[in-house]
Structure 1
Amino acid sequence: MRVFYSVILLILFSFSIGFAQQNGIKGKILDSSENPVAGASVSLVGTVRGVQSDQNGNYLLQDIPAGKYDLKVSFIGFEAQTFSFEIKKEEIINKDILLQEDEIWMESFELMASRGMNGQGRLPEVEDFRINAGRKNELIRLAEIDANLAMNNSRQIFGRTPGISIWENDGSGIQLGVASRGLSPNRSWEFNVRMNGYDITPDPMGYPEAYFTPPMEVVENIEIIRGASSLQYGPQFGGLLNFVLRKPDPSTRFTAETINTVGSYGLFSTFNYIGGTEGKWDYTAYYQKRRGNGWRENGFFNTDHAHFEVNYAVNNRLKIGTEMTYMYTETQQPGGLTDTQFAEDPSQSTRSRNWFSTPWFLPSLNADYIVSPKTKLNLKAFGSIAQRNSVGFMKAITEVDDMGNRQVDRDLYHTFGTELRLSTSYPLFGKEHNLVSGYRFYKGNIDRNQRGVGNAGTDMNFDLTESSYPRDLDFDNLNHAAFVENMFNVTDKLLLTAGVRLEHISSQMKGILNTVNGVPQVLEPETRTRTFALLGLGGEYHLTKTTELYSNFTQAYRPVLISDLTPPATTDVIDPNLQDASGYNFDFGYRGNVSSFLNFDASFFYLKYADRIGTITQTAADGTRFQYRTNLGTSISQGVEAFVEFDPITAFVGNSTFGYIHLFASLAYVNAEYQDFERTSVSDGEVVKSNLAGNRVENAPRKINRYGATYRFKDFSMTWQLSDIGEAFSDATNSVEPNAAATSGLIPAYTVQDLSASYTYKKKYSLKSGVNNLSNTAYFTRRAGGYPGPGIMPADGRTFYMTLGLKF
């Protein structure tokens, strides 16, 4: 950490002494009434150079080599302007630029933003290095929503995103567990989780659990592309979940912000940020400290997050940059509860010695190169040096902690990856078309050490009292992938996309599975190699300038993971013939906005998940019951996802001097069921056959509805939200009655409310406050078989927070 802070101080000192302003162009961006336009994009066409206008409309591009250029200025709601200029050595050009409003887009977007309807959007059809057209996608703009960002409150953050199911068992906000379409929310592992476009999980193909989540106070956008993203980002069924961090401020040399939050149960969070642009350099850095005692007993948490980014325009065509992200967590885990304990008091805890820690370091390099005005290259190199550490008493929640030696489990992750992408446009039959292609290399190593004998203390201590771990496994994963996808602009209204992805995965596992009476049970090294192709087709038809029909079909694939191959307990049994899962996603929908008062997206989806891996309870011939992990056949998820946001005052009255109210609803009906799968058990000496056909997929509520209302008046806004979530089952057998250890049984339906408000003064000072779980509802979303349980994992009750922010 000292090195990290030293680098930041050095960069700040460098920028404080300034750079010699040689060649440059500066001026003001104005609208037709000659009012300044803040946030307009100002770029040199065909180069990597660009800035934004500041709050007063000023812009400045420095250190431009002598020559001829085209300057392009664009902003949502205005027609883009381009003009040519020539600059000489040591010349400063003054140029004010007048933008003309595009009335339709101005009404559709700028007014929606000013009246608080800009929190949920969608991605552009084509960006620099990806094609989004024809895909079900969402763009969550965190600055535009009222939410408890200090605690990463996922219920509020994803409130407008239809069909997102959430595991709310981590009140500290450290780990995020989300899914959609009947998939498992376990640390978001059915999504390809990324930050700024690169992987942040231990291994997307071997262990994709998202232990790291960036602080939402620094996240500018969350990008979600459903399963149709598998061609460009990997074969996961859930699709892409990408956290886009706030980039260096391109409108100023230096800006700083501090956000400080206090709340219930000793919550304290401080977030501090700097960033700016100086000539060919831009930089940003943040540090967040968050700690609290948690709503439940034994729920203490203490986290540190730090991030640094710097970029340099080597010349007009090449820009390089680096990012470094560090996280350290110290979390006391209250453990699970039985159903009886939950009914008595969901905030209680019978585990006081369970701790969890995930040190995480993510370095990355990035390079953008402009081959020509229509062709660009991007190279990302990234990696991780990380750990997953736990210590505690992990027997069934029905057993009292004997205060003896605790169990220690430790994973060490070392990964390296690189992605090269090419984006180009070309003319054909009188239309401009877009092509994106890429190559990916990824190498991951997981050193898994489990069932170590720790001390009998109460603090977070991962030292062993014995020399080795009874289970010591090495898992290596090698992944090569290449893809190509093309967007064809067939007509002015119709576009089609088509693509293919080739994957090669080689996995190897070796080591000691168990140690019995001091004798290690050495695994026969196992290597799995597979090569496969994924195909995808999609399209959009623009009914109007702001509404469109869209559809997509894309194949998906889920390789066997290390967690599938290693049982969590000695009594568990792994199917020796465990196979990879495969299937596809299909979407058909209608989305867009009507004027400035209605934003909507409604779609039908169908997801086929063949050879789905899961755990089922079996009964042996001697009557003993055991957990059997196998392919549970095929599951089918189908249903409807819909989002609508409506501003009745703008629709019926127009302008209002008393503010605006907008109502939103995020609705999803998810019917996720198993198909034909015969299972055999023994009861009273008799062989009993049954079938999973028609059983609902575990952890998949059929109803995921969230409703809300926001009132906005100038710089004040307040949002009320209601989450109405249906019941779910915790296992594939659809057990309703809970077992004694509370690891199986029904997960009841629940409703929970949140209220948040914010006020900004002169764009520099901000005050936010809110109450989460307004009615203090007692509910849970998960029954855990191991960490962080076992048992019922209660969600937090009523909590309060207040945030004070300052920008300068």
Structure 2
Amino acid sequence: MRLISLVFLLFVISSTGTVAQKNILKGNIVDENQQPVIGASVYLEGTVRGVQSDVNGNYILKDFPHGDYVLRVSMLGYKDASFPFSIGDKESKEFNLVLGEELMLLDAFEFSVSRGIMGQEKMPEVDNFRINAARKNEVIRVGEINANLAMNNSRQIFGRTPGISIWENDGSGIQLGVASRGLSPNRSWEFNVRMNGYDVTPDPMGYPEAYFTPPMEVVEQIEIVRGASSLQYGPQFGGLMNFVMRKPDKSKKFTFESLNTVGNNGLFSTFNYLGGTEGKWNYTAYYQKRVGNGWRENGYFNTDHAHVEVNYAASNRLKLGVEMTYMTTESQQPGGLTDEQFNRDAKQSTRSRNWFSTPWFIPAITAEYILSDNTKLSWKTFGTFAERNSVGFVRPITQEDDLGNRQLDRDFYTTYGSELRMITNYSLFGKEQTLASGVRYFNGFIDRKQNGQGNSGTRMNFDLIEGGVYNRDLDFSNINYAAFAENIFRFSDKFLATAGLRLESIYSNMEGRFNIQNGQEVLLSPQTRTRNFLLLGLGSEYRLTSTTEFYANFSQAYRPVLISDLTPPATTDVIDENLKDSRGYNFDFGYRGAIGSYLKFDVSYFYLNYADRIGTIAQMGPGGDIFQFRTNLGNSVSQGFEGYVEFDPITAFLKSSRIGYVHIFASLALVDARYGDFATTTVSNGVITEGNIKGNRVENAPRKINRYGLTYQYKNFSATWQLSDIGEAYADASNTVEPNAAATVGLIPAYQVQDLSGSATFAQRYILKAGINNLTNEMYFTRRAGGYPGPGIMPADGRTFYLTVGLKL
């Protein structure tokens, strides 16, 4: 924390010090009624220099070299305007602009007035050194959603995104568990999880579980690209999930915002943000503190988040930046419940000594350089220095805590990587084409220490007892090289196609002590793997009207063998020496767009093929002994329908309203995720029985994921009601209905849960938010955990409420 504070202070001092100004361009932007245009983007074409107009419509650009420029003004509801000009050394010029004559059609402007409650968009064709055309994608504008952001309520945040399944077993808001299309929501590991475009997981190719989630109060938007992102980001079946943090305010030297939240169960959260722009410098920083007792017994949490970002325009073509993010957590884990315990009292807990903590530090250095009017470069170098620590009594929930020494497990992550991207436009077939390409290097190291003896206390303590050792002590290293290229071919104003490839090279090695038996070390045979593979992708997009389009995309996917696959859970287990990585592909076909300014929609069919799934079966050795054999067992296929529609009836029938606007949305998904030829073996009284689960539903994959909502907005007030209607699922591939005694397998029942949230702004600076989550106090669960943080049923939170009071300067 001291390091973050010191670096931030140095940058602020540098940015506010005396600098010899080269020149100044300033002015005021108003509409045809002489009202200030707030938030207009004002930038110099072909450079990295840009600002926004402030609440009075004023803008100012400082410290750029003399020369000839084109000033570009962009604002939703208006056509872009360009103004050529020349400026000399140390010269000051003033351009006062009126955008009224460039106003678009009235209904489009009315749409911009009422669209503030539409928190879902799609990405533009080309944006931020990437190609998005022809892809199934969503942009969740977090700031436009009425939700319990202080607690990272994922049910509300992803409410408009079709097909997102959520594990709601972490009421603290520390970890996010989401997935789509029948994939596992476990810490979102099937997604390529990034923040501001760089990795934040321990190792995307070796241990991709997302222990870090940024506070949603500072997330500007969440970008989701379904499986087709494998070409430009990584081979994950789920695709990309990128958290874009709030950028420095470009209209002021200094902006400050404070949001303070209280709720039941002792909830208190304070979020404080500052940022601004001065000349060539801009900066942003936040700090969040969140503490509470949780909805369940033994559910205490205490978290701290801090982030600093500083950018500097070194020249008209070069922008440099540095970011640092720090998180520390203290989380008490209530553990799981049996079915009988859950039905009797879902709030209860029989584990009072289980604790979890994930200190996380993520530094990053970034640079953007404009080579020419048609070509730009982006470079990001980043690292993760983090831990995963747990201590507790983690035996089956049917066993009573013996109050003895607790099991202690610790992971230490040291990773770093770098990505260089280029995007360029060129002419072909009489049209402008776009090529995106890049290279990547990643080096990850995981020091895994497990099955150690912690103390017999009740508080969080990750120290071994005196003379204690970790029975398991493994080192896992992973080196990844990648290169990609993808091109948009525009054949006409209506039709385009995309084609691309990604080359991956992965080297991984694991070695160390697997166990200690009778005082003797059991060493793990070194597991070393090198593989190279090529992924291909094709897409197309046809614009049926000026606002609607058909899209289709095919992209291969890849799931490498992970550290957990190479680590047998018992000494008698055997790993297939020919264990293969999983391969497959995603396919999407859909129709999306808008009708007028009152209806938005995106409906699509998807098909996900997941081949060579990794699992374990029982085998009999030559001597008649039975052992567990981990190998590639078979394939699964997920297919179905995803649909999203949002309708504004007042704009549709009345165009405008003096009593406010109403938006109605539906996010619908039908997911049929089933296993193919998947061999299983059961052992009873020493007798092996062969079977097959072909046609069984994939575990943790509800067939129905539907969410509905209604938002009312009047001036600076809005309120949203949301209903989540989720179908039943199974906890295991055998589709077991009746639960076992330990509650680790069995049916996960369907459920419905409602949320109500509202917000209001007064005098443009005072903020009030409030809401009730799980309005009807539904008792439900989304997960049966086979191990930590269970085992057993992991109940979701019952009814909770929150109240937020904020100030913005």
Residues 286-685 of structure 1 aligned to structure 2 (within 5 Å):
286-465=286-465, 466-568=467-569, 574-614=575-615, 629-683=630-684
1:233 equivalent in alignment to 2:233:
yes
Determine helix, strand or coil for the equivalent of 2:4: helix
Contact map agreement 1:365 1:380 (CA 8 A) in 2: yes
Alignment partner, residue 74 of structure 2: 74
Aligned-pair CA distance for 1:216? 0.2
Determine helix, strand or coil for the equivalent of 1:295: coil
Aligned-pair CA distance for 1:577? 3.8
Distance 1:730 1:18, change over 3 A: farther
Distance in 1 between residues matched to 2:500 and 2:702, nearest whole Å: 33
Distance in 2 between residues matched to 1:293 and 1:187, nearest whole Å: 22
Alignment partner, residue 760 of structure 1: 761
Scaled by the length of structure 2, what TM-score is found?
0.97
Aligned-pair CA distance for 1:616? 6.5
Distance in 1 between residues matched to 2:713 and 2:401, nearest whole Å: 52
Aligned-pair CA distance for 1:274? 0.5
Aligned-pair CA distance for 1:598? 0.6
Alignment partner, residue 89 of structure 1: 89
Distance in 2 between residues matched to 1:702 and 1:469, nearest whole Å: 42
Distance in 2 between residues matched to 1:113 and 1:595, nearest whole Å: 14
Distance in 1 between residues matched to 2:623 and 2:179, nearest whole Å: 38
Contact map agreement 1:391 1:408 (CA 8 A) in 2: yes
Distance in 1 between residues matched to 2:697 and 2:543, nearest whole Å: 37
Kindly provide the CA deviation profile for residues 208-261 of structure 1, in whole angstroms up to 9, marking residues without a partner as x: 000000000000000000000000000000000000000111111110100000
Determine helix, strand or coil for the equivalent of 2:371: strand
Determine helix, strand or coil for the equivalent of 1:26: strand
Distance in 2 between residues matched to 1:132 and 1:319, nearest whole Å: 24
Distance in 1 between residues matched to 2:612 and 2:808, nearest whole Å: 52
Instruction: Kindly report the root-mean-square deviation, in angstroms, between the aligned alpha carbons of the 2 structures.
Output: 2.0
Q: Could you tell which deviates more after superposition, 137-146 or 55-64?
A: 55-64
Q: Could you tell which deviates more after superposition, 388-397 or 568-577?
A: 568-577
Contact map agreement 1:552 1:586 (CA 8 A) in 2: yes
Distance in 1 between residues matched to 2:240 and 2:322, nearest whole Å: 23
Kindly provide the CA deviation profile for residues 700-730 of structure 1, in whole angstroms up to 9, marking residues without a partner as x: 0000000111111111111000000001111
Scaled by the length of structure 1, what TM-score is found?
0.97
Distance in 1 between residues matched to 2:573 and 2:146, nearest whole Å: 45
Distance in 2 between residues matched to 1:101 and 1:233, nearest whole Å: 42
Distance in 1 between residues matched to 2:784 and 2:102, nearest whole Å: 53
Kindly provide the CA deviation profile for residues 537-594 of structure 1, in whole angstroms up to 9, marking residues without a partner as x: 0011111111111010000000010012224456766545432100000000001111
Q: Could you tell which deviates more after superposition, 521-530 or 154-163?
A: 521-530
For residue 337 of structure 2, what is the amino acid of its counterpart? L
Contact map agreement 1:77 1:107 (CA 8 A) in 2: no
Distance 1:312 1:15, change over 3 A: closer
Distance 1:625 1:268, change over 3 A: farther
Determine helix, strand or coil for the equivalent of 2:7: helix
Distance 1:540 1:406, change over 3 A: same
Determine helix, strand or coil for the equivalent of 1:650: helix
Alignment partner, residue 749 of structure 1: 750
Q: Could you tell which deviates more after superposition, 348-357 or 101-110?
A: 101-110
1:4 equivalent in alignment to 2:13:
no
Alignment partner, residue 203 of structure 2: 203
Aligned-pair CA distance for 1:620? 10
Alignment partner, residue 26 of structure 2: 26
Distance in 1 between residues matched to 2:381 and 2:336, nearest whole Å: 40
Contact map agreement 1:333 1:356 (CA 8 A) in 2: yes
Distance in 2 between residues matched to 1:134 and 1:656, nearest whole Å: 36
Determine helix, strand or coil for the equivalent of 1:233: coil
Q: Could you tell which deviates more after superposition, 431-440 or 58-67?
A: 58-67
Distance in 2 between residues matched to 1:201 and 1:622, nearest whole Å: 44
Determine helix, strand or coil for the equivalent of 1:268: strand
Contact map agreement 1:142 1:157 (CA 8 A) in 2: yes
Contact map agreement 2:252 2:276 (CA 8 A) in 1: yes
Distance in 2 between residues matched to 1:376 and 1:635, nearest whole Å: 41
Determine helix, strand or coil for the equivalent of 1:789: coil
Distance in 1 between residues matched to 2:773 and 2:540, nearest whole Å: 40
Distance in 1 between residues matched to 2:807 and 2:620, nearest whole Å: 61
Alignment partner, residue 738 of structure 1: 739
Aligned-pair CA distance for 1:21? 4.6
Aligned-pair CA distance for 1:656? 1.7
Distance 1:791 1:535, change over 3 A: same
Distance 1:614 1:678, change over 3 A: closer
Aligned-pair CA distance for 1:128? 3.3
Task: Structure 2: give runs of 5+ residues left out of the alignment.
Answer: none
Distance 1:730 1:101, change over 3 A: farther
Aligned-pair CA distance for 1:678? 2.3
Determine helix, strand or coil for the equivalent of 2:3: helix
Contact map agreement 2:110 2:655 (CA 8 A) in 1: no
Distance 1:628 1:787, change over 3 A: farther
Aligned-pair CA distance for 1:687? 4.0
Q: Could you tell which deviates more after superposition, 582-591 or 98-107?
A: 98-107
Contact map agreement 2:107 2:655 (CA 8 A) in 1: no
1:132 equivalent in alignment to 2:132:
yes
Distance in 1 between residues matched to 2:368 and 2:714, nearest whole Å: 42
Contact map agreement 2:425 2:433 (CA 8 A) in 1: yes
% identical aligned pairs? 68
Q: Could you tell which deviates more after superposition, 9-18 or 155-164?
A: 9-18
For residue 396 of structure 1, what is the amino acid of its counterpart? P
Distance in 2 between residues matched to 1:618 and 1:165, nearest whole Å: 34
Alignment partner, residue 214 of structure 1: 214
Aligned-pair CA distance for 1:22? 4.1
Determine helix, strand or coil for the equivalent of 1:243: strand
Kindly provide the CA deviation profile for residues 437-463 of structure 1, in whole angstroms up to 9, marking residues without a partner as x: 000000000000000011101111011
Q: Could you tell which deviates more after superposition, 592-601 or 231-240?
A: 592-601
Distance 1:383 1:662, change over 3 A: same
Distance in 1 between residues matched to 2:327 and 2:662, nearest whole Å: 39
For residue 585 of structure 1, what is the amino acid of its counterpart? N
Contact map agreement 1:623 1:683 (CA 8 A) in 2: no
Kindly provide the CA deviation profile for residues 760-796 of structure 1, in whole angstroms up to 9, marking residues without a partner as x: 1122111000000111111100111111111110000
Aligned-pair CA distance for 1:17? 5.5
Distance 1:694 1:173, change over 3 A: same
Distance in 1 between residues matched to 2:744 and 2:620, nearest whole Å: 17
Distance 1:392 1:60, change over 3 A: same
Distance in 2 between residues matched to 1:698 and 1:621, nearest whole Å: 33
Alignment partner, residue 223 of structure 1: 223
Distance in 2 between residues matched to 1:571 and 1:762, nearest whole Å: 68
